[in-house]
């Protein structure tokens, strides 16, 4: 008898693709965090949004690493839900095509606190085509002498590009660093017209 059941159990099948899609449509609405990959001229990024807005954009190639970190830091209810990040994808596309100068996305600052948050909020106000310096960002955050700490805050920016840490340079005009690598920083500043094309 157990053989008959085991044989029958082998034929119970798998949930088909359309079944999984309908499940994920319902799950996506209620999940705390939705993520997807976004293709750009600078590579494939992982973006994640909470119910409040864009919470993370990562240059990390493996989305699993990003998703694990989000589950640990914010909520384990993280799901792959491309539709919930459609606005983000569209605005990034437009930005990379040079058609968008300001992002209209709602942001969720949950991943940053205190001084770091102040630095990034100041960074968020640097206009397209403009640049600023690490010490200016430190001053805006209320600690004029904390340029190095401001640099750290920028290096750990959870929402690069949208929060434009690439617009922050050394006071002597040197480019400083960038989480996505210096070539990307140059590329972005050139796109925005802040650097001359080479």
Residue closer to another protein (CB basis): 19 or 182:
19
- Residue 145: burial class (beta carbons within 10 Å; 0-12, 13-18, 19+): exposed
9 binds another protein (CB under 8 A): yes
Q: Out of 112, 165, 168, 191, which one is annotated catalytic?
A: 165
Considering the complex, what minimum distance in angstroms separates the CB of residue 196 from another protein?
43
Whether 15 is catalytic: no
Residue closer to another protein (CB basis): 57 or 74:
74
5 binds another protein (CB under 8 A): yes
Residue closer to another protein (CB basis): 22 or 90:
22
Considering the complex, what minimum distance in angstroms separates the CB of residue 24 from another protein?
8
Q: How many residues does the chain have?
A: 198
Among 37, 40, 60, 80, binds another protein (CB under 8 A): 80
12 binds another protein (CB under 8 A): yes
Q: Which residue has the tokens 């955050």?
A: 141
- Region of residue 173 (phi > 0: left; psi between -120 and 50: alpha; otherwise: beta): left
186 binds another protein (CB under 8 A): no
Structure tokens at 11: 């034929």
Supply φ then ψ for residue 152, to 5 degrees: -65, -45
CA–CA distance, 175 with 198 (Å, rounded to integer): 15
27 binds another protein (CB under 8 A): yes
Tell me which stretch binds another protein (CB under 8 A): 39-47, 71-79, 96-104, 178-186.
Answer: 71-79
Supply φ then ψ for residue 48, to 5 degrees: -140, 140
Q: Are 168 and 154 in contact (CB under 8 A)?
A: yes
Considering the complex, what minimum distance in angstroms separates the CB of residue 8 from another protein?
4
Residue closer to another protein (CB basis): 14 or 196:
14
Q: Are 48 and 56 in contact (CB under 8 A)?
A: yes
For the beta sheet containing 43-50, the strands, ordered from the edge strand earlier in sequence to the opposite edge, are 54-58, 43-50, 33-40, 78-80
Structure tokens at 122: 């100041």
Provide the annotated active-site residues.
Answer: 165
Q: Which residues bind another protein (CB under 8 A)?
A: 1-2, 4-15, 19-20, 22-24, 26-27, 30-31, 67-68, 70-72, 75-80
């Amino acid at each position: 008898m157990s053989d008959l059941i085991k044989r029958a159990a082998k034929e119970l099948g798998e949930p088909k693709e359309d079944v999984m899609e309908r499940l994920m449509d319902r799950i996506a609405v209620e999940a705390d965090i939705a993520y997807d990959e976004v293709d750009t001229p600078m590579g494939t990024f992982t973006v994640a949004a909470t119910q409040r807005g864009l919470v993370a954009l990562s240059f990390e190639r493996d989305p699993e690493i990003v998703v694990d970190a989000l589950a640990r830091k914010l909520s384990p209810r993280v799901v792959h839900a491309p539709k919930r990040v459609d606005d983000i994808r569209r605005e990034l596309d437009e930005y990379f095509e040079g058609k968008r100068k300001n992002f209209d996305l709602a942001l969720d600052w949950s991943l940053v606190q205190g001084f770091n948050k102040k630095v990034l909020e100041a960074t968020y106000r640097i206009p397209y085509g403009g640049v600023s310096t690490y010490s200016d960002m430190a001053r805006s955050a209320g600690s004029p002498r904390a340029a190095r700490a401001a640099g750290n805050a920028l290096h750990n920016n959870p929402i690069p590009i949208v929060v434009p840490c690439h617009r922050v340079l050394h006071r002597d005009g040197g480019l400083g660093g960038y989480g996505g690598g210096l070539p990307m920083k140059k590329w972005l500043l050139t796109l925005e017209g802040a650097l001359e094309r080479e």
